[in-house]
Structure 1
Amino acid sequence: MSEEGKVAETVSEVLGERVDVVSHALHWLVENQDLLVTYVLNIVFAIVTLVIGMMLARVISGTFHKILTKRQFDITIVDFVSHMVRYVIIAFVIIAALSRLGVETTSFVAIIGAAGLAVGLALQGSLSNFASGVLIIALRPFKAGEYIEAAGTAGVVESVQIFSTTLTSPDNKFVVVPNSAILSGNIINYSRKSTRRIDLVVGVSYNADLAQTKRILETIVKANEGVLKSPEPLVAVAELADSSVNLVVRPWVRGEDYWPVRFELMEAIKNGLDDAGIEIPFPQMDVHMDK
């Protein structure tokens, strides 16, 4: 056989194989057209479900954000709740889309639960911080902008996040405190009340005239414009200590005036007692030596 004949035979064989493949494919399509239509429709419905679900999640989350903001909730609560709502809706949408594709969602949820349990055991500390964050949001022992003391640190609350709370210390340090550490101890909120009491202890010599000393302290306290008239300031003898007679000075001030008034009173008391010749003693010890 000539070379032209061999080439023609080879071409005819290749074309025959391709025709057979196309024929089988067309035959399979004809036989399974209902199944293909069902699969295509399921995929389309799953995509539509996913797209619409994502849009609804964003809309509902935004609606929650607007409603909570309009009702003047703390911004940390607004952000926390709106994000949680969005993530929960997205999770349900994904499960619904997978169910539309024929995926056994029961097994899928079981797998997610088992994986969540394993991750939870590995991340107990993080989950504890998350739970504490939810409790802080729910109980609201403090909110953004308030000055608190918790977990061994103090500062102005910047934000309450899922796992931690951020503070700004009085010397402008950025402090991140785990939420579980905050809830495991005492929380002191200095901003929740509008007024605060300044507690000062002033020690004077045993030779000092206590009546005169009390009059001087009362005059100094009442002369300060930051001290409130009610409740009335208290000046009283509190202790007969080793080296001094200790008097307590307890005026009330507005919360924002606490530190300025405290510093002013400390300086004024020192100068006033010096001017009156009243000694502010320091700890001392007498040693007697026998030969």
Structure 2
Amino acid sequence: MQKYIDQVMSMAVEFLPKVLLTIVTLIVGFWIIKKITATFKKTLDKREIDETVKPFLVSLVSIGLKVLLCFSAAGIFGVETASFVAVLGALAFAIGMALQGSLGHFASGVLLLVFKPYQVGDVVEISGKIGTVKGIHIFNTILMTHDNKKVVIPNGVVTSGVIINITGQEEQKLVMTFGIGYGDDIDKARSVIKQVIDSCPNIMREKPIDIFVSELADSSVNFSVRVWAKNEHYWGINFYMQEHIKKAFDKEGIEIPFPQRSVHIEKTA
């Protein structure tokens, strides 16, 4: 009996410090992890991260730190963790290979929600598609085109290409081109264009207005007209200018060239 008591006492003396150190490590570690996740959550709140992804990111950080803490505690207690790490690594690799495409779209979705190159309601051009952003999800972005078509674009495609945020700013510069014939008076055409601009509502007149000859084309002298507009007035100004420039040119006898071909037929005896 004394022999067993001595063995128990010997084991207690050997393992008790490790047990106490492991318990202290876990208590202190969980407290630190709690503080870290709380700080991380406050940082996400300040950056106005989307509410749909915020809980996931906080949970991801919390679980990752807790797993590392458990491995550290097991190592202090004397458990060999190398084999567990190898198994977990192999399992993570297998899952990653099986879900490679989905994980890529998922990671891209997180980046879009964190860095916000566009928001819901913005008009954007992505992969040649222009539309209004109706939703930004973890795996895809949803656009609604001007002809009311729903376009679903995987987030991996979004982040791997060029993103043009058309209405990301409050103001836009509207660039238009109008051509006149080579026989028409440039100064007169410029004056007519200026009159139409002066009559057009909602143009931001405190911003620079440009009217200049931009190109001597094959069959026309092209004017580049640039005005500033609020996002909500962009299309209205564009349609107004196109219509009223045509009417004003017709009224003043200024020709608007269009593609045409002359055919000469020779009559032989």
- Give the Å deviation of 1:118: 1.1
User: 1: CA distance between counterparts of 2:134 and 2:49?
Assistant: 10
Q: Which residue of 1 aligns with 2:59?
A: 86
Is 1:167 the counterpart of 2:143 in the alignment?
yes
- Give the Å deviation of 1:265: 0.9
- Relative to structure 1, is the Cα distance of residues 145 and 63 closer, same or farther in structure 2, using a 3 angstrom cutoff? farther
User: 2: CA distance between counterparts of 1:267 and 1:116?
Assistant: 61
Q: TM-score, normalised by structure 2?
A: 0.71
Letter of the structure 1 residue corresponding to residue 52 of structure 2: D
Match among 176, 201, 209 for residue 152 of structure 2: 176
Q: Which residue of 1 aligns with 2:124?
A: 148
User: 2: CA distance between counterparts of 1:264 and 1:61?
Assistant: 55
> Deviation digits for residues 205-231 of structure 1, max 9, x if unmatched?
222221111100011012212111132
Q: Which residue of 1 aligns with 2:174?
A: 198
Is 1:118 the counterpart of 2:94 in the alignment?
yes
- Give the Å deviation of 1:173: 2.7
- Give the Å deviation of 1:164: 1.6
Give the SS at the match of 2:183.
coil
Q: Which residue of 2 aligns with 1:244?
A: 220
Give the SS at the match of 2:151.
strand
- Relative to structure 1, is the Cα distance of residues 249 and 81 closer, same or farther in structure 2, using a 3 angstrom cutoff? same
Q: Percent identity?
A: 38
Match among 236, 260, 265 for residue 236 of structure 2: 260
User: 1: CA distance between counterparts of 2:166 and 2:200?
Assistant: 22
CA contact (8 A) 2:126 2:158 kept: yes
- For this pair of structures, how many residues does the alignment match? 230
For the aligned residues, what is the CA RMSD?
3.3
- Relative to structure 1, is the Cα distance of residues 147 and 61 closer, same or farther in structure 2, using a 3 angstrom cutoff? farther
- Relative to structure 1, is the Cα distance of residues 108 and 165 closer, same or farther in structure 2, using a 3 angstrom cutoff? farther
Q: Which residue of 1 aligns with 2:24?
A: none
Q: Which residue of 1 aligns with 2:259?
A: 283
- Give the Å deviation of 1:168: 2.3
- Give the Å deviation of 1:156: 2.2
Is 1:131 the counterpart of 2:107 in the alignment?
yes
CA contact (8 A) 2:41 2:58 kept: no
Q: 193-202 or 159-168: which moved more?
A: 159-168
Letter of the structure 2 residue corresponding to residue 201 of structure 1: T
Q: Which residue of 1 aligns with 2:20?
A: none
Q: Which residue of 2 aligns with 1:27?
A: none
Q: TM-score, normalised by structure 1?
A: 0.67
CA contact (8 A) 1:74 1:144 kept: no
CA contact (8 A) 1:65 1:79 kept: no
